[in-house]
Amino acid sequence: MRWIPATLAVALLTPASLASAAVVKVSAASSTSTLPDADGVSYDPKNLIDGKQATVWVEGDTGGSGLGTSVSLDLGGEKTVTGLRIWNGNWYTFDFWQRHNRAKEIEVIFPDDSKETFTLDDEMKPQVVTLAKAMKTSELRVRIKSIHRGNTFNDTVFSEIQVLDDSPADSVPVKAFSASSVYPSDADGDYDPDNVDDGILDSMWCENVKDGDGTGEWLDFDFGASRKVSQLRLNNGNAYSFAMFMKANHATTATLSFSDGSKEEVSFKSSFMDQTVSFPAHTTTKVRVTFTGVKAGKEFNDLCISEATFLE
Ligand SMILES: [Ca+2]
Ligand SMILES: [Ca+2]
């Protein structure tokens, strides 16, 4: 497999390529070393594939920075892998992200020992690396080759790794998201509307209306083309855990508005688990989801939605 110069590898970090790629369900993750649990916190490699950015894997290279350490992802069968989406470093908070090492160069290695090297930016943002050539494989390894140094701990961390394949995503691809208001970024990250379509339960859109519970706030899904939609798949509220779900507001009802001016009313369960609501099919280039009913959380009076995607 050809070697990719670092400068080119950076240019290949194209989030747009994710929109049309499906995320492969990884069946198991392992690593050549892992930092032992501490204070009840696990750094197990299964944290790489749990759909949460705040749960992390930390290498267990005693006294070293983890160079040469690798994590293996078992795809549970042969897939045509086109790339990876990586949450590099410790995404528990921005402070933790700064404290621990982040990977700089990584090698993606396949069972036939072919590999590609990529250079990751030192930024707290999901990064897509695209293989020069799609690879049919049932497993792959990600090996740490060099690091961006953290300011406190000499341990290298990944928070989440998604494997992308060449099949189209099962949800309708969105070209642009917008929202009536967006809660400002804080120590835990941002609350931008595109967080509803990243497969990550603890990244979310939250509204930012003063003295309101979020009723009347909206999220726009612009498909950039005419698409048929008949279902909305949702993780309501802050879906990180039941405790977090109880703290923030979640939606109970919404009005869906389509390009031709037609509307549908939908209601949501008070649950942070996956739910899919069906409505009469519409062909549309855009859907506005206006939240018409909100149930208040116990701690934060802000409406949040962790995941929301439309299906045909
Ligand atoms: Ca994780
Ligand atoms: Ca999310």
Asked if residue 71 and residue 35 are part of one domain, the reply reads: yes
Smallest-distance ligand from the CA of 42: 1
Distance 158 CA to ligand 1 centre (A): 8
Asked if residue 235 and residue 157 are part of one domain, the reply reads: no
The strand pairing partners of 88, in sequence order, are: 158
Smallest-distance ligand from the CA of 46: 1
Q: What is the pLDDT of residue 252?
A: 98
The predicted model scores a pTM of 0.89
Q: Which CATH number do you get for residue 106?
A: 2.60.120.260
Which range of residues forms the domain containing residue 84? Answer: 6-165
Distance 206 CA to ligand 2 centre (A): 11
Q: pLDDT class for 15, splitting at 50, 70, 90?
A: very low
Q: Give the whole-number percent of the chain exceeding pLDDT 70.
A: 94
Nearest to 51 by CA among 24, 79, 15: 24
17 or 312: which leads in pLDDT: 312
Asked if residue 263 and residue 184 are part of one domain, the reply reads: yes
Distance 68 CA to ligand 1 centre (A): 21
Distance 68 CA to ligand 2 centre (A): 31
Distance 162 CA to ligand 1 centre (A): 10
Q: Is 198 exposed, middle or buried (0-12, 13-18, 19+ CB in 10 A)?
A: buried
Check: CB of residue 302 under 8 Å from CB of residue 183: yes
pLDDT at 97 over 70: yes
Please compute the mean of the pLDDT values over residues 254-258 and round it to a whole number: 98
Q: Give the whole-number percent of the chain exceeding pLDDT 90.
A: 89
Distance 204 CA to ligand 1 centre (A): 15
For residue 1, being part of any structural domain is answered with no
pLDDT at 114 over 70: yes
Please compute the mean of the pLDDT values over residues 291-307 and round it to a whole number: 96
Asked if residue 155 and residue 283 are part of one domain, the reply reads: no
Q: What is the pLDDT of residue 20?
A: 59
pLDDT at 1 over 50: no
Asked if residue 125 and residue 182 are part of one domain, the reply reads: no
Asked if residue 220 and residue 152 are part of one domain, the reply reads: no
Check: CB of residue 287 under 8 Å from CB of residue 258: yes
Q: How far apart are CA 109 and CA 272, in angstroms?
A: 36
Q: What is the pLDDT of residue 187?
A: 83
58 or 300: which leads in pLDDT: 58
pLDDT at 102 over 50: yes
Distance 73 CA to ligand 1 centre (A): 13
Tens digit of each residue's pLDDT (9 = 90 or more) over 17-65: 444 579 999 999 999 999 999 999 999 999 999 999 999 999 999 989 9
Tens digit of each residue's pLDDT (9 = 90 or more) over 162-199: 999 988 888 999 999 999 999 999 888 899 999 999 99
Distance 254 CA to ligand 1 centre (A): 30
Tens digit of each residue's pLDDT (9 = 90 or more) over 199-219: 999 999 999 998 899 999 999
- Residues in the chain, overall count: 312
Q: How far apart are CA 124 and CA 94, in angstroms?
A: 8
Identify residue 29 by its one-letter amino acid code. A
Q: Is 83 exposed, middle or buried (0-12, 13-18, 19+ CB in 10 A)?
A: buried
Tens digit of each residue's pLDDT (9 = 90 or more) over 238-252: 999 999 999 999 999
Smallest-distance ligand from the CA of 160: 1
Check: CB of residue 280 under 8 Å from CB of residue 167: no
Q: What is the pLDDT of residue 3?
A: 33
Q: What is the pLDDT of residue 169?
A: 87
Distance 193 CA to ligand 2 centre (A): 9
Q: What is the pLDDT of residue 54?
A: 95
Distance 289 CA to ligand 1 centre (A): 28
* Encoded tokens for 79: 């897939």
Q: How many domains does the chain have?
A: 2
Asked if residue 14 and residue 156 are part of one domain, the reply reads: yes
Distance 185 CA to ligand 2 centre (A): 15
Smallest-distance ligand from the CA of 199: 2
Distance 218 CA to ligand 1 centre (A): 28
Smallest-distance ligand from the CA of 200: 2
For residue 120, being part of any structural domain is answered with yes
Distance 220 CA to ligand 1 centre (A): 27
Average pLDDT value for the chain: 92
Helix (H) or strand (E) holding 276: strand 275-295
Distance 10 CA to ligand 2 centre (A): 24
Check: CB of residue 180 under 8 Å from CB of residue 207: yes
Q: How far apart are CA 163 and CA 130, in angstroms?
A: 10
Q: pLDDT class for 105, splitting at 50, 70, 90?
A: very high
Q: How far apart are CA 145 and CA 163, in angstroms?
A: 19
For residue 171, being part of any structural domain is answered with no
Nearest to 10 by CA among 98, 117, 89: 117
The domain boundary, picked from 146, 165, 184, lies at 165
Check: CB of residue 265 under 8 Å from CB of residue 253: yes
254 or 7: which leads in pLDDT: 254
Asked if residue 106 and residue 16 are part of one domain, the reply reads: yes
pLDDT at 7 over 50: no
Asked if residue 240 and residue 130 are part of one domain, the reply reads: no
